[in-house]
Amino acid sequence: MSRTAFTLRIETEERNALKNLSKIEGRPVNQLLIEAIRIYLGQRGRRERTLEANLKSLRDYRKKDPGFRRAIAAFVDAEATVSDPLEGQPIEGDEDSNSPTPAGPVQSKVREVIGA
């Protein structure tokens, strides 16, 4: 693998800390930075793979549920056209759990589906 020169501008405090760490570990600053960059990119890569896996899972779920688009459209239509008698009204909640008390079976089911 070929290497490329790279200029990095850092604060003086960080540069001094790298020099001290270099002396303590007996390794060049360049080697410490390369290791730090590899670790950072590895962590980001795992996070990205997790997000990609979640997105794939969601797409797979959509394929399994042919009524998904129709259900979403019906929900949006109901939200836009049906009057909600509780809209704008405060809900009482459980002070210990900091979550609102369910108003009924539909609200409980919605919370169950969205994991709230």
Q: Which H, E and C letters describe 45-86, residue by residue? A: HHHHHHHHHHHHHHHHHHHHCCCHHHHHHHHHHHHHHCCCCC
* pTM of the shown model: 0.43
Amino acid at 77: D
Distance between start and end Cα atoms, the chain: 48
pLDDT at 67 over 90: no
pLDDT value at 2 more than 90 = no
Quick check: 37 and 44 in contact, CB under 8 A?
no
**87-114 pLDDT tens trace:** 766 666 655 555 656 566 677 777 777 7
CA distance 22 to 4: 21
In tens, the pLDDT along 10-23 reads 999 999 999 999 99
SS3 27: coil
User: What is the pLDDT averaged over residues 58-75?
Assistant: 81
